[in-house]
Amino acid sequence: MEPRYYLAWATDEAIRARGANGGFVTALLVSALETDFIDLALVVKKKSVYEGVPVLTDDPELVKESAGSLHGVPWNLAKMLLECAPDKRVGVPTKPCDARGIIELAKRRQIALDDIYLIGLNCGGTLHPLRMREVAAELYSLDPDTVQKEEITGGKLIFRYEGEGGATQEKGLKIDELEQEGRGRRDACRACTTKIPVMADLACGNWGVPKGERKTFVEVLTEKGGAILENALNKGAIEVEDATEQSIALRTKIERAMQKLAERWKDELDLLTDKSPTERLAFYTDQLQRCIHCGACKAVCPVCACDADAKCLDLHDEQDAYAISLYNLLRILHLMDSCIHCGQCEEVCPVDLPLTLIQRRFSERMQAHLDYEPGVDVTETPPYQETKLRWSADAKASESKEA
């Protein structure tokens, strides 16, 4: 279908005040629950200004409490959907990497997309909660516990806090300045070029909204997206107006600027570009030898769906004493066609392996060779999904029969 573009906002004043950009996404989910359009919503419940936890709920009040933006979200929501009963209709606000992970899980028959509504959120990147607290204390000279709100606006990370006499004050620094100090977004986010979730049912954000207006720019990408938006309109939960050509052009301009910046960061973060093959191998060996085979990277990987017979489940075999373990080699092989570069593996690694860089170097080259972009089109089968390794038991048995 042809995309449609709107500016939209919540009609409920409390939701508008609490939500980011007019509270559209919150109002959309609340109305969908109240009208039984969906059974559950997967939202992020804030624990503090800096972090939150994902929650599956059927309670509209909890959805209202989750309103507002949160940039301290270093995890991917995709595998949370594995906890849902298969017959449940679920609304999920998703960053682009969340949506891509969900689509890859659907390709692997782990979840069914028919009853999952992907409410995509434009994303310029996320920060680690602990790093945000450190930034508040060390670069902003603030007590992190006095910060009342954080937001990223105009390329700045802004903290609002209680000043003298109880008045709300704010401090802001450019994201570029923070990142030159090594204090900004996660590496995976800095190098990510997918800023608008065009693989979702709706794509929502503030890019393209006229300055000073508390509205959400909404792109309707699928029939499902149109249906959940129409449901909210019919209930009177939201109002919409057509986006102007100027708004559409501004959104595109911001997206391209963000993508250009991501390409620059991709080059800067690649430590191996100018290294010889021997030096690259030495880097991989030195880094991966530190792996303790805990399996955390596999557990959080949003596209990993290995079954009980998978070799990579033998996480720590005493005979697996190669310089680069078979576990790590298999992880690289499994992800070469389907890694979505979300950085979850590096986020949870207890020995801080540079897994984002390592996986990206292998997978981007293979995906370009295969002309395949994972997590975008659910009808595209991952190239390696049906491939059997030549040394697998099934392959050997098949060859014996043929012989």
What single string gives the DSSP state of each residue in 235-246? HTSEEEEEPPHH
Tell which CATH classification among 3.40.640, 3.90.660, 1.20.120, 3.30.43 matches the domain 4-126+188-266. Answer: 3.40.640
CA–CA dist 23, 238 (Å, integer): 9
Q: Which residue has the tokens 């969900």?
A: 102
Distance of CA 134 to the CA centre of its chain: 23
* Amino acid letter, 27: A
| pLDDT, position 383 | 85
Say how many CA atoms lie within 13 Å of 185 toward its Cβ.
25
Q: What's the rounded Cα separation, in Å, for the pair 104 and 248?
A: 29
What does the pLDDT look like over 202-256, one tens digit per residue?
999 999 999 889 999 999 999 999 999 999 999 999 999 999 999 999 999 999 9
Structure token pair of residue 186: 């996660």
Could you please report the per-residue DSSP string of 69-95? ------S--GGGGGGS-TT--EEEEE-
> Which residue ranges make up each domain of the chain?
4-126+188-266, 141-184, 271-385
What is the distance between the alpha carbons of residues 29 and 247, in angstroms, rounded to a whole number? 25
- The confidence score (pLDDT) of residue 392 equals 45
Q: Which residue has the tokens 């979505």?
A: 340
Q: How does pLDDT run across 142-158, given as a tens digit for each residue?
A: 999 999 988 888 888 99
Per-residue confidence (pLDDT) for residue 389, from 0 to 100: 46
Q: Say what the pLDDT of residue 393 is.
A: 46
Which phi and psi angles does 49 have, rounded to 5°?
-60, -30
The amino acid sitting at 207 is W
The residue ranges of the chain whose pLDDT is under 50 are 389-403
